[in-house]
Structure formats: C-alpha cells, structure tokens
Amino acid sequence: MDPVPDKTDDPRSEQAPARPAAQSGPEHVLIRRAQAGDERAFEELLRSYEGRAWRVVRNMVPCDEDARDLVQDGFLRVFRSLERFDFQYAFSTWLYRILTNLAIDHLRRRRPVKSTSAPDEEDADLELVDHDAPAPAAAMESEETVAEVRAVLATLAPHFHSVLVLRELEGLPCNEIAEIVGATHVTVRWRLHRGRKLFQEAWERRGSRAANSSHPEPVEPPVEPPEGRPQA
Amino acid sequence: MEQPLTCTQVRGELPLFVGADLELSALEALAEHLESCGACRVELAGLDGARRALRSVKDAPGPTTDAWPALRAELAGEGRLATVPRTSARRFATAAAAALLLAVGGVWVGSRLDQSDFFGPNPGGGLGTASGPGAPDAGARPSTGEGTASSVALRPVETGARLADRAVSFGAVSLASDPSAEAPGGGESIPTGPAGTLTGGASAASSAGHLILPPRIR
C-alpha cells in the first residue's frame, strides 16, 4: 500500500515555477522503467545518484551510520513515490530535496535547538557550539580537516548548513537550491551570505581556541538576528 | 558617474563575492575596489581561507556500504518490483529446441556407431549396401517383418529415436516439474511446435517420436 503522500516527496508541491527538466532522454526512460517495476532501472537510478546523495547527507549529519540510514530512507521515499514523479522537474532536485529535508529533520530531532526567535518561526536562526570537540592541530591531515569542517558545519543552523553544503560542496546554482529547500532565490542568497560569514567566524574561533588551548575560555554562541530579512 | 563603493559596502558583499555569486557588474565593481584597498583584501582572504577549508570536504571518501541489497529487499517486500517469469511458451520452446538438438545429434551419432559396428571391416560399404550376415544383433531385435537389409538400414534411425524420446521426455519432465510452465488455463495443453500438437508428459514424448521416426519403425 502506498504511504500517505508526503508534501516533501511530491515534486508537484514545489513552489518554484515549472521549468524544463535538466535531465531527459535516457534518465526519463530509466524512470519510466522503474515506474513499471523494473528492478534494474531502480538499481541504475540508485547507482547514478548514491554518491551525491551520500555526500550531501554525510556533510549534514554527524556520523556515517546516520548518513547511511538517511540515504536509504531517502531513496526508499523516492522509489515509493516514483509513480507520481513529474517529468518537468529534474530527478536530482527532487532527490536532493527529500534528502535535505530528512537531514534537517534528523538534526532538529537529534539535538536541542537554541533559537533567538519565536518558536513557531520556521527558519529560526540557530547557532550551536560543540565545546567538547577537539581543537584543530597545527598541521591537519586531510581526514582530520574533514572532521573539523564537519564539526564547524554542525554548529550552524540547519538552514545555513544545508545551503552551504548544496552550494559549496555540490556546486548547485542558487535557483536550484531554492527549489530544493523550498525557499525563494533571495532567501537562498541571504542564507549563503550569512552561512559563509558564520562558517568563517566559527572556523577562525576554533583556530583561536586551538592556539589558546592552555587557557580555554567558554565561547558563547553569537546572537543571530532571525531570518526573514534577506537583503535583496 | 557612479559613486565608488565604500569599504562597508564592499565588505557586506564579500561573502557572495568570494564564491562569484554576484552579478557580473557587481563583481567588477568590487574587484576594482579590492585592487586599491588592502583592508578589504584582508577581509576577503579570511573568507577565502574558511571557504577553502569547507570545500576540502568535497574530496572526502564516499559511502562504504552498498545500499542496493537493503533497498531491493524493501521494494520487493512492498511488491514494487515487477517479477518477470519465464513464460510457459518460452520454457517449452527451450525444451523443444533442446530435444530437437539431441534428436538430431542422436541420429548422427547412431549412424556413425552403426557404420563402425557393421561396416568397420568393410569401409567401402554404406548404409544402403549393408547385407544380413554382417549384422551381429539382427536376430535379437524384434522382427519388423522386413528384410535384414532394411532392418540394418533403419537401426541408426531407431537409435536416434530412442535418444529423441528420452530428450523429449526430459523436456516434458522439466516442464511438468515447473509449475510456472503450465498452460494459462491450467490444463495440459502445450503450445504447438512446427511439427504438430504435443499434449504434455508421455504423450509429448511419443508425439515427438512421430516427428522424427518413419512410420514403420513404430
């Protein structure tokens, strides 16, 4: 039995105007085959996108295990709703949207949220600092750098975090990110602007803490203005 | 003439400038300011360094486990994967082709064996020139009521027929043992081959014999 349709699973629920799908031809054939229950088509779709799906989710959640579960859950939702896929949208946008929403929900469930705005405000501005995280070494190995970057990213509010991941790590344009996160283009640019600045501040703070690790001082998260005042 | 940008204006745009996320005209205006403003360049360097660190995550290793087996199990459990069974017609065609191949092979092998048995000492002799005294088991075979020469001549055909019978029986058995190979109506009817209608099981075997053997052998 089909699950109750989830708004986030349905590409027709996008607020963005219709546009020609970025992919067509072979991918549409693949989707149609999967809609008919072709097992190999499902597998090919998974293989085409699992690397990107993994990267997006893994850079948003703190551990491999969570990422694996979320990626699997994301693909399962996509495949369950595939019969409702609207071919005027890009499959990747739909998949990214589901994965991003799953990751954001996961982050919000997983940790307490510190909000400076009204609790019902959807995009409340958040900043979480992990005071127990290890300080960066002077010369970090690549793996350590990755862990450090992820730790700093995790201190950002999910809506900044997701936009940074999609723009900086996936290289998606702001208009596609807007479709994925269900926000306007202006809001995405605002989140990108603030997200880069917040990441820089958190990154440099960690560097300073490492330098002064013999005299650690508690770092208070900066009070951020609530979102909703994007600069045009 | 446009007013030159102030440092405050430029620094407000640097987080987008660093990723080239501004209009071309704005990028050019900021670049022009940065050429002559060391303090703003320092600001830009800080943003760029943090951004480089962030983007280093791009090269992080990918997933270490294969998601497909678990996904496949879920999809199969929900009945979302179409099963593509081999149709009974397809199975029958395979069995019939195998039977035909074995039958033809049997005829050929039989003829070669008989040549060496009966005409080995007399290589010049052919099937049609065989004579009675040379046939070692001519008397052991059931009489067909015909002459010795014709019995010998037909023997290879009979050998092939036995092989064909076995092959077809094998095909029929494999069909009978496969429930998905039954006719759509649940009956025993099996799609026809080019040589006539087969009716499954033993009758399929005997009918297949008709396809190969001359009537007098039976």
Would you tell me which residues 190-219 of chain A have a C-beta closer than 8 angstroms to some C-beta of chain B? 192-194, 196-197, 199-200, 203-204
Q: In this model, does residue A48 exceed pLDDT 80?
A: yes
pLDDT band at B114 (very low <50, low <70, confident <90, very high): low
Mean pLDDT, to the nearest integer, of B60-82? 86
The predicted-structure confidence for A164-219, as pLDDT tens digits, reads as follows 999 999 999 999 999 999 999 999 999 999 999 999 999 999 877 777 765 545 54
Min Cα–Cα distance to chain A from B195, Å: 36
Cα A227-A230-B2 angle, rounded to 5 deg = 155
The least confident of A9-13, A191-195, A218-222, B13-17 is A9-13
pLDDT in the model for residue B166: 53
Residue ranges in A13-62 assigned as alpha helix (H): 26-35, 39-58
Contacts with B112 (C-beta within 8 Å, 6 or more apart), sequence order: none
Residues B38-71 as b or e (16 or more Cβ within 10 Å = b): eebeebbebbbebbebbebbeebeebeeebbeeb
Regarding pTM above 0.80, the answer is no
Would you tell me which residues 33-92 of chain A have a C-beta closer than 8 angstroms to some C-beta of chain B? 36-39, 42-43, 46-47, 50-51, 54-55, 58-59, 64, 67-68, 71-72, 75-76, 79-80
Instruction: Compare CB distances from A193 to B15, B56, B78 and report the shortest one's residue.
Output: B15
Q: Find, in chain B, the residue whose alpha carbon is nearest to that of A46.
A: B68
ipTM for the predicted complex comes to 0.72
> 3.40.50.880, 3.40.630.30, 1.10.10.10, 3.20.20.10: which CATH number matches A114-232?
1.10.10.10
The predicted-structure confidence for B136-165, as pLDDT tens digits, reads as follows 343 334 444 444 444 444 444 444 445 445
Token look-up 């702001």 returns A174
Q: What is the third-level CATH fold of A7-110?
A: Rna Polymerase Sigma Factor; Chain: A (1.10.1740)
pLDDT band at A89 (very low <50, low <70, confident <90, very high): confident
Min Cα–Cα distance to chain B from A101, Å: 20
Contact A61, A48 (CB under 8 A): no
> Contacts of residue A210 in chain B, CB cutoff 8 Å?
none
Q: Do A79 and B75 touch (CB under 8 A)?
A: yes
How many Å apart are CA A167 and CA A58, to the nearest integer? 15
Token look-up 């459990």 returns B77
pLDDT in the model for residue A116: 37
Q: Is A100 on the interface with B (CB under 8 A)?
A: no
Q: Is A29 on the interface with B (CB under 8 A)?
A: no
pLDDT in the model for residue B94: 72
Mean pLDDT, to the nearest integer, of A57-69? 92
pLDDT in the model for residue A163: 97
Select the more confidently predicted residue: A141 or A61. Answer: A61
**Residue ranges per structural domain of chain A:** 7-110, 114-232
Q: Do A42 and B71 touch (CB under 8 A)?
A: yes
**Residue ranges per structural domain of chain B:** 7-59, 88-217
Q: Find, in chain A, the residue whose alpha carbon is nearest to that of B45.
A: A200
Min Cα–Cα distance to chain A from B6, Å: 18
Min Cα–Cα distance to chain A from B85, Å: 13
> Contacts of residue A193 in chain B, CB cutoff 8 Å?
15-16
Q: What are phi and psi of A126, to 5 degrees?
A: -130, 150
Provide the 3-class DSSP secondary structure of residue B196.
Answer: strand
Q: Find, in chain B, the residue whose alpha carbon is nearest to that of A172.
A: B21
How many Å apart are CA A62 and CA A65, to the nearest integer? 9
